[in-house]
Amino acid sequence: MHTIEVAGVLIDTRHYVNGERLASPATYTNTSPIDGSFLGEIARGDADSVNAAVAAARAAFPAWSKLGPKKRGELLNKLADLVEANVETLANIETLDNGALLRSHLRGVMPRVAMNIRFFADYAINDLHHDAFETRGHTNNITWDPSGVAALITPWNAPLMLATWKIGPALAAGDTVVLKPAEWTPLTASYFADLTKQAGIPDGVFNVVFGYGTEAGAALTAHTGVSRISFTGSVPTAKIIAHAAADNLTPVSFELGGKSPCIVMADADLDLAAEIAVEQYDNAGQVCLSGTRILVHESVADSFAEKFRSKVAALKQGDPRDPDTDIGPQVHQVHFDRIKGFVDRAVAEGQDIVWGGGPNAELGGLYFQPTLVKNPAPGSEIVSAEIFGPVLCMQTFLTDDDVIAMANGTEFGLAAVVVSGDRDHAKRITDELVAGTIWVNCFFVRDLRAPFGGSKKSGIGRDGGTWSFDFYADVKNTVVSPNGWKE
Ligand code: ADP
């Protein structure tokens, strides 16, 4: 039995290699974080499955790369159409597999999956361009050539969204792909593979290998047949992948963690600030760019905290399939225990837990209460480490210099949020912040034309628009002399 029924559709639990399904001798068990129910036995990829997938991707590369952006774009747009036609199915599968809100998958995430494919396909046709320029009469012509096989290693917090953010530009650039999705959330990748087949994407252009990071992931990132490695995940894993990539000098793109500041200035609209603060619990806190350190000016700290408290009190925790639910479960027992460990240690240190502080006893399972730690001891674990759960810290500040130092005072630099009523003041702060993305009086406004990525330990490189193609393609300059022509 290699298929399971999930959300009313059949999903193949084997790898997808060269347009066909490929089993592995071993499997691993996949369960739903909603209630621990069994979902299926998934192929546990090893070096053999990775070798087969990379060989298929390499064999498919010459034809796919020669097809050109227009013909590739037609197929990729067909794929985007199919994703759009299957939004409900994909949303239901993803919610069962990773426990994130069905409501969000339906309204935002799965439509965005289609957009990830469509945007980069169209961008390669219409926007990927650099004006030629002259050097002493010689013309510089810049092009983006396909580079080979892109190895994509993706996380579980937004599985198909983050995967297609890589798949879209890689395929549009003319690369072929081997995707290794996170072991806890393999299902949408399998269903998506079927959609690529239906869209007419040639066999071998898109391949999926399931399994553990330390097995399938390690084999893929160490493979000499791979031309690019794009990874979204944790800093420790990024270091391991960087070592593997170093042996082959394979270029890497890393989107890693964060401990982003959410700054509430004295002149801020406090209702807006509270609204933005409560959004930091989205996806049960499993969002790399969350502003998990709320830095609020001392003079407004009490009134802000009251407004924030009443918004948090209104959050409904429960089954992510219920449209009224705001916070679902954590993705997996291992991750739940990790979060609980952070909070238990903070409690043992005597840190001030304002609300939450542990599992939701009523719901049991993997449901962790939204938690706030007030004025954590400077340098303590809870305020420096990425927790990746519904756990926020709140600290106060007095001067701009203070808040800039606090905001920049971690090893991360993924994002920052500034809430202020004064444009000039807000600009003075944002000018000093070290972060890949800064939101002013808003949160999570994203545009695929914009660069996205992390500074410091939050990543290497930027995704979005031309930045994505700069990574997946081989950027080439052909310098043509005015001399030597027989014309
Ligand atoms: P987490 O610890 O939260 O699961 P990771 O960064 O370890 O985060 O996981 C993100 C992705 O990286 C997953 O697809 C995982 O399987 C993969 N991964 C984990 N370890 C390795 C490794 N040694 N080599 C390649 N990929 C890995």
Tell if the pTM clears 0.95, that is, is over it: yes
| Residue nearest (by alpha carbon) to ligand 1 atom 24 | 218
Task: Tell me how far the alpha carbon of residue 130 lies from the centroid of ligand 1, in angstroms.
Answer: 36
Name beta bridge partners: 371.
391
Task: Say which of 183, 215, 288, 393 is annotated catalytic.
Answer: 288
Q: 412 with 466, same domain?
A: no
Euclidean distance between CA atoms 50 and 52, whole angstroms: 5
Residues 144 and 225 both lie in one domain: yes
Which domain CATH number covers 181? 3.40.605.10
Q: Are 236 and 367 contained in the same domain?
A: no
**Whether residue 228 has pLDDT greater than 80:** yes
127 with 225, same domain: the answer is yes
* 471 and 366 inside one domain: no
pLDDT, average across residues 4-25: 97
CA 132/CA 143 separation, integer angstroms:
10
Average pLDDT over residues 74-98: 98
Report the Cα–Cα distance between both ends of the chain, in Å, rounded.
68
The atom of ligand 1 lying closest to the CA of 238 is 6
Helices (H), 353-464: 381-384, 400-408, 423-432
pLDDT digits (tens, 9 = 90+) for 52-67: 999 999 999 999 999 9
Looking at residues 90-107, what average pLDDT do you find? 98
What average pLDDT does range 206-213 have in this prediction?
Answer: 98
For residue 465, what are its two tokens? Answer: 């628009």
Q: What is the pLDDT of residue 125?
A: 98
Answer yes or no: is 484 within a domain: no
Residue 460 and residue 228: Cα distance in Å, rounded? 13
> What mean pLDDT is predicted for residues 458-485?
98
pLDDT, tens digit (0-9, with 9 covering 90-100), for 325-362: 999 999 999 999 999 999 999 999 999 999 999 999 99
* Span 254-299, pLDDT tens digits: 999 999 999 999 999 999 999 999 999 999 999 999 999 999 999 9
187 residue type, one letter: L
Residues 406 and 470 in one domain: no
pLDDT of residue 487: 86
Residue 302 confidence (pLDDT) above 80: yes
Which CATH number do you get for residue 329? 3.40.309.10
* Residue minimizing CA distance to atom 7 of ligand 1: 237
Residue 1: its pLDDT value, please?
A: 76
Q: Which atom of ligand 1 is nearest to the CA of 211?
A: 16
Residues in contact with 390: Cβ distance below 8 Å, sequence separation at least 6, in sequence order? 281, 284, 285, 327, 339, 356, 368, 369, 370, 371
Pocket test for ligand 1, best of 42, 237, 240, 388 (most atoms within 8 A of CB): 237
Residue 337 belongs to a domain: yes
How many angstroms separate the alpha carbon of residue 370 from the centre of ligand 1? 26
Q: What is the Cα 72 distance to its own chain's centre?
A: 24
pLDDT > 90? residue 480: yes
- Rounded CA-CA distance 86/189 in Å is 13
Q: Give the residue, out of 153, 185, 256, with the most ligand 1 atoms within 8 A of its beta carbon, to mutate for a pocket test.
A: 153
Q: What share of the chain is helix, strand, coil (3-state, %, to 5)?
A: 40, 25, 35
Do 248 and 358 sit in the same domain of this protein?
Answer: no
Asked if residue 152 and residue 55 are part of one domain, the reply reads yes
Can you tell me the mean pLDDT for 161-165?
98
| Percent of all residues in the chain with a pLDDT value above 90, rounded to a whole number | 99
288 is catalytic: yes
Catalytic residue among 94, 255, 262, 393: 255
Q: Output the CA 154–ligand 1 centroid distance in Å.
A: 8
Instruction: Look at residue 135 and tell me whether its pLDDT is greater than 90.
Output: yes
User: Is residue 20 predicted with pLDDT exceeding 80?
Assistant: yes
Pocket (CB within 6 angstroms of ligand 1): 153-155, 180, 182-183, 212-214, 217-218, 221, 233-234, 237, 240-241
The pLDDT of residue 115 is above 80? yes
In a domain, 449, yes or no: no
Q: What is the mean pLDDT of residues 41-62?
A: 98
216 and 328 together in one domain: no
User: Ligand 1 center to residue 354 CA distance, Å?
Assistant: 33
Q: Which range, of 150-154, 205-209, 361-365, 375-379, averages the lowest pLDDT?
A: 375-379
Helix (H) or strand (E) holding 443: none
CA distance linking residue 120 with residue 69, whole number of Å = 10
pLDDT above 80 for 25: yes
Per-residue pLDDT, 408: 98
- CA 28–ligand 1 middle distance (angstroms): 16
Total Cβ atoms within 10 A of residue 41: 15
Give me the domain span that covers residue 293. Answer: 261-440
Q: Which atom of ligand 1 is nearest to the CA of 180?
A: 14
393 is catalytic: no
Q: What is the count of structural domains for the chain?
A: 2
- The percent of residues in the chain predicted with pLDDT above 70, rounded, is 100
In a domain, 452, yes or no: no
In our burial notation (b when 16+ CB lie closer than 10 A, e otherwise), range 330-363 reads: bbbeebbeebbebbeebeeeebebbebbebbeee
d(Cα 453, Cα 352) in Å, to the nearest integer? 33
Domain assignment of residue 453, yes or no: no
Structure tokens at 124: 């390669």
Ligand 1 center–CA 241 separation, angstroms: 9
233 and 155 Cβ atoms separated by less than 8 Å: yes
Same domain, 284 and 175: no
Q: Is the pLDDT of residue 106 over 90?
A: yes
Instruction: Quick: pLDDT tens for 375-433.
Output: 999 899 999 999 999 999 999 999 999 999 999 999 999 999 999 999 999 999 999 99
H or E element that contains 142: strand 138-146
Mean pLDDT estimate for the chain: 98
Please indicate, yes or no, if residue 471 is contained in any of the structural domains.
yes
Residue 451 lies in a domain: no
Count of C-beta atoms within a 10 Å radius of residue 26: 14
Q: Tell me, yes or no, whether 231 and 361 share the same domain.
A: no
In-domain check, residue 485 = no
Both tokens assigned to 313: 């009190």
287 and 416 in one domain?
yes
